[in-house]
Amino acid sequence: EVQLLESGGDLVRPEGSLGLSCAASGFTFNSYAMSWVRQAPGKGLEWVSTISASGGTTYYADSVKGRFTISRDNSKNTFYLQMSTLTAEDTAVYFCAKGLPITRPYYFDCWGQGTLVTVSS
């Protein structure tokens, strides 16, 4: 069974930093692009970032570019999101998600349960 498990969500002060992790199991992790998608409280979905299967290519939404860094460790079946210079607008549930096979990494067929990041003083 494909499973994704996020961790790391927390309360953080504005301008602070936080790192999220997503542990994957049940599939060949190093064959799939992986992504982060967030959802502010009571709002819709917003794509945040994607990393290629090898980790060699990364993509970011304009809203987080320069502040967030996505990475992965294929030996640990885990990928990460390092967030810095956080603002209240980054408050959201962060979901990790698995892309469809190679040619469609931008559609997400498996999601974690989400981890809440709250940015507040």
Partner 1 sequence: EIVLTQSPATLSLSPGERATLSCRASESVSSYLAWYQQKPGQAPRLLIYDASNRATGIPARFSGSGSGTDFTLTISSLEPEDFAVYYCQQRRNWPRGLTFGGGTKVEI
Q: Binders of partner 1: how many residues, by CB under 8 A?
A: 21
95 is a site residue for partner 1 (CB under 8 A): yes
113 is a site residue for partner 1 (CB under 8 A): yes
27 is a site residue for partner 1 (CB under 8 A): no
32, two tokens: 């799939």
Site mask, partner 1, residues 45-64, x = CB under 8 A?
xxx--x------x-x-xx--
Bridge partners for 81 per DSSP: 20, 70
Three-state DSSP class for 89?
helix
Which part of the chain contacts partner 1 (CB under 8 A), choosing from 15-23, 43-51, 71-79, 81-89? 43-51
100 is a site residue for partner 1 (CB under 8 A): yes
6, two tokens: 């996020």
**What is the DSSP code string of 12-38?**
E-TT--EEEEEEEESS-GGGS-EEEEE
Tell how far CA 33 is from the center of its chain.
Answer: 11
Q: Which residue, 17 or 28, has its beta carbon nearer to partner 1?
A: 28
Amino acid at 100: L
Enumerate binding residues for partner 1 (CB under 8 A). Answer: 37, 44-47, 50, 57, 59, 61-62, 95, 100, 104, 106-109, 111-114
